[in-house]
Amino acid sequence: MSTSTDARLGWPRWRRSWWYHATTYAHTWRGSVAGTVLFPILYLAALGVGVGHLVSKHTGLVDGQTYLHFIAPSLLATTTMQLGESESLWPVLAAVKWIRQYHAAVATPLTPTDVLAGKLTWVVTRALATGVVYTIVIGAFGALHSWSSLALPLVGGLITLAFAAPLTAYAATVQTDASFITIYRFAIVPMFLFSATFYPVTAYPGYLRPVVQFVPLYHGVALARSAAFGQWPLLPTIGHVTVLSAMAVAGVLWGRRAMRRRLVD
């Protein structure tokens, strides 16, 4: 009778799935260097320093911060969201339909749940590494205020999981990638632009603020700013963590069912 633990190695079986993704990435990591290292520097230089100079010159501080300080943590939030999306749509559909790696995986002692857990754990691993790089870059620009900024990689990991889990589950249910472009254009891009990423929520008309605050990425941006500034208002922080955690849990539960139906049933 199989169990969820590899008796020979004494570790959970899903780590085999995680290891597969890690070893694959070891051969392809060069293609992600620009997105992980170069883009943070370019974004902060262009927006934080360039646009920030204009903002400081004409309007002064934004929510009590320079524009560079204001925008830096939000760029970490948007990047980790995009990482969750890019790792969870086309790659998952390819693995369950076109290349069928996941079918090969469940032909071994791995279960669909092991496959899902390994995939999501790997995506979070990448998010944590990306968060570390971003935090270093933000610190090099002098845009960190508190030791709590060390929590930025953890915030990035939570944001990634909150998006990766439901998107992975969705990708496991579809037969074509026709809807993926729609998701990107009408969900990911608008969230990137309108989640109080580049300006505070107070810049919106009063009737739009609740809409912005309902957007999932808004909660990630707010958490990232809390970590960078060392300001953790209790109730808002609980609310942000609850929303992102609920998305992650719902995605995992949906993903377990979707993977089982796609790979076994």
Domain membership flag for residue 190: yes
Q: Which of 146, 99, 94, 151 is closest to 128 using CA atoms? A: 151
- Structure tokens of 139? 């610190």
CA proximity to 94, closest of 157, 176, 189, 22: 176
Please tell me the least confidently modeled range out of 52-66, 98-112, 209-223.
52-66
Per the structure, how many domains does the chain have?
A: 1
Residue 98 has pLDDT above 60, yes or no: yes
**Among the ranges given (86-90, 117-121, 202-206), the one the predictor scored with the smallest mean pLDDT:** 202-206
| 126: in domain | yes
Distances (CA, A) of 234 to 225, 237, 238: 14, 5, 6
Angle CA 207–63–84, to nearest 5:
75
Instruction: Give pLDDT, residue 141.
Output: 86
Q: Is residue 139 part of a domain?
A: yes
Map 110-168 to HEC letters: CCHHHHHHHHHHHHHHHHHHHHHHHHHHHHHCCCCCCHHHHHHHHHHHHHHHHHHHHHH
pLDDT band at 7 (very low <50, low <70, confident <90, very high): very low
Residues of the domain holding 72: 33-263
3-class SS at 39? helix
Residue 4 domain-assigned?
no
Report percent pLDDT > 90 for the chain.
70
Give the best-scoring range by mean pLDDT among 55-59, 200-204, 250-254: 250-254
Report the chain's mean pLDDT, rounded to a whole number: 90
In a domain, 189, yes or no: yes
pTM for the full model?
Answer: 0.92
Per-residue confidence (pLDDT) for residue 210, from 0 to 100: 93
**19 part of a folded domain:** no
In a domain, 210, yes or no: yes
The count of residues in the chain is 265
Q: Which two tokens stand for residue 110?
A: 């791995």
Taking the mean position of all CA atoms in its chain, how far away is CA 19? 20
Rounded CA separation 242/231 (Å): 18
Q: CA triplet 89, 91, 97: central angle to 5 degrees?
A: 95
